[in-house]
Copies of this chain bind each other. A is one copy, B any other.
Amino acid sequence: MAERKNNETSRDTVPDAVVSRLSLYLRELQHLIANDCETTSSTQLGRLLGFTDAQVRKDLAYFGQFGYPGIGYRCSELVGAIRKILGTDRSWPIGIIGVGNLGRALLGYRGFDQQGFEIAAAFDTVDDKVGQEFEGIRVYHISDLEKIVEKMSIKLGIIAVPGPAAQDVANLLVDAGVEGVLNFAPVTISLPDSVQLVGVDLAIQLEQLSFAVVNRATNS
């Protein structure tokens, strides 16, 4: 069907920045749909998010042709296309390691389900927590990680343990066979290339904000 050099597996590498904008497009499109918009345009999407229209079109062009010249994009169609690109057109069972404050907050976070993520199990080492349920999610002992990961087909792991334990937990997740890790611990961890890693450090986000405030006269 599609011409060009296309060959499915030999697609050019996509910059991270493009992928994260894709998520933003998806979020805006879902809002537009909630507000009964049937179609949108690169200009509208760009205006909503502070990007140029050219950038919106270019980003989408990495993955194919989704629009209609003279018309724009059908919102629901583009949502479907982006979810397919991101891999969220199916459900991802997730395991969370660490049932402290942050872990429990993530267990209760409603935003995940809506985007195709489903927290299947939690893990901890503290006896008082193991066997309990939080937000309807059962807490297992970390020593059962491999067994449960397999049984529940868990593909992604979220690390929500203190920094010093993070690398050990990461290793256990890799051994258990997960394919991707989201790390909330404030440390750099290293994984084999075959396992994907995304890190989120909440303190770093505040540092970015602090910098922006201190330098606001200069940079905005």
Contacts and interface: CB of A to CB of B under 8 A. Distances in A.
A23 B212 CA distance: 13
Contact of A213 (B22, B180, B188): B180
B201 A27 contact: yes
B86 A117 contact: no
A13 B94 CA distance: 40
Interface string A108-126: 1111101111000000000
A86 B211 contact: yes
Contacts of A218: 9-11, 13
Q: How large is the interface on A (under 10, 10 to 19, 20 to 34, 35 or more residues)?
A: 35 or more
A209 B186 contact: no
A116 B203 CA distance: 9
A218 to B, nearest CB: 6
A52 to B, nearest CB: 16
A13 B211 CA distance: 12
Interface string A93-109: 01000001110111111
A202 interface: yes
Which among A49, A112, A219 has the highest number of chain B CB atoms within 10 Å?
A: A219
Interface in A14-29: 14, 16, 19-20, 22-24, 26-28
